[in-house]
Structure 1
Amino acid sequence: MAGLAWMSLSVSATDCDGGLVYLDANRNGQRDEGEPGVSGVRVSDGVAIVTTDAEGRYRLAAIDGRSRFAIKPPEHAVPMRADGLPDYWGNVQREPGPELKYGGVPVTRDGCRDFALWPRETGDELEVLVFGDPQPKSTVDVDYYRRDIVEPLLQEQAGAGRPLASLGLSLGDIVNDDLSLYPVMNAQTARLGIPWLHVPGNHDLDFDAADDTGSLSTFRHHFGPDTFAWEEPQASFIVLDDVIYQPGQRPAYIGGLREDQFEFLEQYLAGARRDRLLVIAVHIPFFDTTPGRESFRRADRERLFAMLEPFEQVLLLSAHTHMQQHVWHGPESGWHGREPLHEYNVGATCGSFWSGVKDADGIPDTTMSDGTPNGHARMQVAADGGYSLQWKVARRGPQEGLSDAMALHAPKVLRRGAWPGFGVHANVFMGDADTRVEFRIDGGAWEPMQHVVKPDPRILAINVADDASATLRGYDRAPEAKPSPHLWRAALPTDLPVGEHRIEVRAFDRWQGEQRASTVYRLEDAEP
């Protein structure tokens, strides 16, 4: 019976070789009389790109195992599916694929159809929510994601009386190897009511696939193409699967790009507008995450960077590291543009894999190994392509020494007159080596803090507490502290009067301007 069912679906292959892109003016999900086709829209299967004719029709050979999609034009929107995802894609799988634990792509002709576009009004500024590594390993973690990330955003939206963004982007590791969690994760994200794009990560693979080609079958069934473009008036987005699966090898994957992806890029970039921001969204960073070990294939990076060089406004977005950092690429990594190429390695929405001590609401602390609290990023893009970035700390009430911008660590008490060898540390989450950070005591003069690359003492203290505890403090321990690229230090004075003294720190964020946090320490007299 299965074979007969497949035959009934695939008697004619030619009816899948073309289609129509039309304007769904009344937004009812079907083409009605008088609704015109839309010319000049590009349609792709992740390799070839074709363009609709004057009547909105296109021709594109149907190839099983590919996802067919319309490249959303900037002046249009797309309908939303019943599951809350944007409806711009469909899979073609007319013959059964390999049997996979999580199902892969079932026999379908979903890509053999027309694509609808909706009329839309566009604003001057684009707002995007960016999630790095949501990565639940169980339904318990999905509930953390719901309560720690989604619910606060819904509350913020309700207070604002409008959606917080017009686009959302998850940068891979949508789940942590258990692909059966895709529907419940998507259901939570879809509650935000925002068109949401998904990048595949190394924990989104079908590990029982025979090769890299089939390793994203289940991901594609749920989220669509692994390589595609999406256009807004202010920015063009290219989403790329950059996880090369290497079954039976060590490591089992490496960062890189496939030859068919370069075919797609060559065609798309040839006609891409250069008067707006070009965003490249991937999971594995383009820089090598471990010095001396190639985690992204250098030849692929150099080839991609050469293709991007003609574009003056490019932003790379990556995740994967469960840290947060800004990397400015230059000749040493294969970038030869006029200005350094900015890669924002976005912190994890799950933080340190939903680990650590739980708070009063039963949600783990899950601060990352570099000292960045879990949360999400927000990106704003202006009409001219200029962009700004911001990190938003997940659901936390007011805490001494903590803000969305930074976390402070200082000793609670020092001996008055002691050698001033102990200091305050400021972890500025969106900082880099060029960030200006200053401190002052009791409202005095501002003084510079020194940029240091070492573990955040806050995380070291958590590590020590976990070691010293005779019982488990959480389901999973907090990660070991790693050197943070956005940490500053200043020695605290001990020649002040006995009592409490306020420490203020300010950092000059390149996008959000002056950011502040404060805490206190106390001086006491003591006898030898």
Structure 2
Amino acid sequence: MKTPCRLLAALLLLAVAGVASAAQWQGRVFEDRDGDGIAGAGEPGIAGVAVSDGRTLALTDEEGRYRLEARADAPVFVVKPADWRLALRADGLPAAWHAPGPRGGIHRGDFALQRQAGPRGDALSVLVLADPQVKSMADIDYYARDIVAPLLADGAAADLGISLGDIVDDVVDLYPHINAVTTRLGVPWLHVPGNHDIDPDAAADATSLSAFRASYGPDTFAWHAGAATFLVLDDVVQLPGQRPAYVGGLREDQFAFLEAWLPTVPKDRLLVLGVHIPLFDTAAPGRPETFRSADRERLFALLKDVPKLLVLSGHRHTQRHHRHGPDEGWHGDTPLHEFNVGAASGAFWSGAPDAEGIPDATMADGTPNGHALLQVDADGGYRLSWHPARLPADDPARTQAMHLHAPRVLRRGAYPAWAVYANVYTGEADTRVEYRVGDGGWTPMLRVERPDPWLLAENARDDAATALRGYDRSPEAEPSVHLWRGALPTDLDVGEHRVDVRVFDRWHGEQRAMTSYRLAEWPDTP
């Protein structure tokens, strides 16, 4: 990790200035050649590595040593360099941090690194989960069988994993149980806190994450891997006793960290910012803002000159892309891309269960629950994809990219008011979506913002049921921003007609799905 000498010296001076306070961290970042986690003879220190408590930053000297003023409530962590790896703790999470010790005195915090040579160079594959949101051991079981087991069965090779908050649903005692499932995947895992990850008796924002920090360490954290740098931030500001009880925003200590750390990040890397609450505002007219605009503008000013930047967020249990521009305070050379990731729990583990007892969990915009995959190229370019938790093997209308909905039968000669719909999970306003009927020509589909018709039908099935179909109903369908419509012709011959839909994904090229409908004369006598 190369850092200009002047910057290194300045940061070291900044870290030790005024360290005559009651407490400080001291330690070494070293090459753990024998893998025992203890600095021994012949195991050299590593220079230029950042160590922080989420506010103050120190860079190690030529012998790998650092000194850092200690905050009573803040873990200290190492920013792992790209070509090194960390050992795992007993709970399977990276040994990247130390918990704060008693007030006063000297706290020792060494960090053991081992050299890592990735088989694909700087290319990187990252599993991205938002809102697992488990509230019981039953939900832990769904998460294990629906999300983690298929990844293990597919042998999906990943270099890193990230959970974008709401790891639990207000039941912080479940942290060890969900960790035991997630770490089966055998990859380093980073965690962002969400509004449902706070202590149940928290009386103030400053003391709301003690259980989270005990399990996951810092809520401000950075990590280098491959051609990317990952920055995860707690962006939930608790407002106990108010309604709403939280708002999106950042703290002063986080801004101090960013001001100190961002100049150390090489400009040729992709910077991935992971948060829970989206940076774009989702409030209805006349309602309080969901992310404090002053904090967003201040953050954007710090990030403006980062040439390669991606934001990942969760929280909403729907999925969409958002491109920030000047109206929101972003003044970079190109719009800032934020991918608001769909939930692993979908609609909070709701809906009718399948044959294996796992709830349907389709989200309110018609997106199936699942995970995202971020692939980073060696030059810092990236690709995103959505992976539904369950895909039926024998249904060509449901693919990884989309699902189709069409009527089964129409009267031949009827007014062509009925349509095939394509819910394209990672679609944007400029996504090219086309369809054809039989051997006809390809025709553009029209993007519409309306509820997914499949989920509307599921809502109707729930309404008509005389007994509960599952623990909780599917969510009420709401308008989807990634839905396309194509009118079905009724002037063709009586019989079955194949409908093909193709999507031109900006990252993965052409994707297809297929369904069919039947034209019949009235009265219909099939």
Aligned to 1:385: 380
Aligned to 2:42: 34
Give the whole-Å Cα distance in 1 for the aligned partners of 2:122 and 2:214: 34
Give the whole-Å Cα distance in 1 for the aligned partners of 2:437 and 2:34: 62
Q: 2:71 aligns with which of 41, 55, 63?
A: 63
Aligned to 2:173: 180
Does structure 1 conserve the Cα–Cα contact (< 8 Å) formed by 2:123 and 2:375?
A: yes
Give the whole-Å Cα distance in 1 for the aligned partners of 2:389 and 2:64: 44
Give the whole-Å Cα distance in 1 for the aligned partners of 2:105 and 2:513: 55
What amino acid is aligned across from residue 46 of structure 2 in structure 1?
V
Percent identity of equivalent pairs: 58
Partner of 1:60, secondary structure, is strand
What amino acid is aligned across from residue 250 of structure 2 in structure 1?
L
What amino acid is aligned across from residue 171 of structure 1 in structure 2?
L
> Does residue 250 of the first structure (1) align with residue 243 of the second (2)?
yes
Aligned to 1:126: 124
Does structure 1 conserve the Cα–Cα contact (< 8 Å) formed by 2:23 and 2:105?
A: no
> Does residue 298 of the first structure (1) align with residue 306 of the second (2)?
no
Q: 2:269 aligns with which of 258, 276, 284?
A: 276
Deviation at 1:256, TM superposition (A): 0.3
Moved over 3 A (4+): 12-16, 108-112
Matches within 5 A, 1:132-211: 132-157=130-155, 164-211=157-204
Deviation at 1:61, TM superposition (A): 1.5
Partner of 2:185, secondary structure, is coil
Deviation at 1:291, TM superposition (A): 3.4
Deviation at 1:13, TM superposition (A): 9.4
Matches within 5 A, 1:285-324: 285-292=278-285, 293=287, 294-324=289-319
Does structure 2 conserve the Cα–Cα contact (< 8 Å) formed by 1:276 and 1:383?
A: no
Aligned to 1:454: 450
Deviation at 1:14, TM superposition (A): 7.4
Aligned to 2:14: none
Give the whole-Å Cα distance in 1 for the aligned partners of 2:386 and 2:235: 24
What amino acid is aligned across from residue 412 of structure 2 in structure 1?
R
Classify 1:496/1:245 alpha carbon distance in 2 versus 1 (closer, same or farther; 3 Å): same
Aligned to 2:92: 84
- TM value normalised by structure 1: 0.92
Q: For this pair of structures, how many residues does the alignment match?
A: 500
Give the whole-Å Cα distance in 2 for the aligned partners of 1:518 and 1:459: 19
Residue deviations 1:179-199 (CA, integer Å, cap 9, x gap): 010000000000000000000
Partner of 1:356, secondary structure, is coil
Residue deviations 1:496-524 (CA, integer Å, cap 9, x gap): 11111111100011111111111111111
Moved more, 181-190 or 23-32: 23-32
Aligned to 1:7: none
What amino acid is aligned across from residue 39 of structure 1 in structure 2?
A
What amino acid is aligned across from residue 137 of structure 2 in structure 1?
T
Residue deviations 1:156-176 (CA, integer Å, cap 9, x gap): 11xxxxx61110000000000
Gaps of 5+ in 2: 1-19
Does structure 2 conserve the Cα–Cα contact (< 8 Å) formed by 1:239 and 1:282?
A: yes
Residue deviations 1:486-505 (CA, integer Å, cap 9, x gap): 00001000111111111110
Give the whole-Å Cα distance in 2 for the aligned partners of 1:348 and 1:511: 21
CA RMSD of aligned residues (A): 1.7
Give the whole-Å Cα distance in 2 for the aligned partners of 1:237 and 1:112: 26
Aligned to 2:259: 266
Does structure 1 conserve the Cα–Cα contact (< 8 Å) formed by 2:23 and 2:107?
A: no
Aligned to 1:363: 358
Deviation at 1:395, TM superposition (A): 2.7
Deviation at 1:396, TM superposition (A): 2.7
Aligned to 1:394: 389
Give the whole-Å Cα distance in 2 for the aligned partners of 1:410 and 1:74: 48
Does structure 2 conserve the Cα–Cα contact (< 8 Å) formed by 1:350 and 1:375?
A: yes
- TM value normalised by structure 2: 0.93
Aligned to 1:342: 337
Does structure 2 conserve the Cα–Cα contact (< 8 Å) formed by 1:245 and 1:252?
A: yes
What amino acid is aligned across from residue 514 of structure 2 in structure 1?
S
Partner of 1:20, secondary structure, is strand
Deviation at 1:355, TM superposition (A): 0.4
Give the whole-Å Cα distance in 2 for the aligned partners of 1:281 and 1:93: 28
Give the whole-Å Cα distance in 2 for the aligned partners of 1:389 and 1:374: 16
Residue deviations 1:39-80 (CA, integer Å, cap 9, x gap): 111100000000111111100122210010001111211111
Does structure 1 conserve the Cα–Cα contact (< 8 Å) formed by 2:25 and 2:106?
A: no
Does structure 1 conserve the Cα–Cα contact (< 8 Å) formed by 2:172 and 2:211?
A: yes
Residue deviations 1:178-227 (CA, integer Å, cap 9, x gap): 00100000000000000000000000011312210110110000011000
Aligned to 2:501: 505
Give the whole-Å Cα distance in 2 for the aligned partners of 1:248 and 1:62: 31
Give the whole-Å Cα distance in 2 for the aligned partners of 1:238 and 1:93: 25
Matches within 5 A, 1:16-31: 17-31=25-39
Deviation at 1:311, TM superposition (A): 1.1
Residue deviations 1:320-355 (CA, integer Å, cap 9, x gap): 000000000101111111111100000001100000
Give the whole-Å Cα distance in 1 for the aligned partners of 2:466 and 2:375: 47
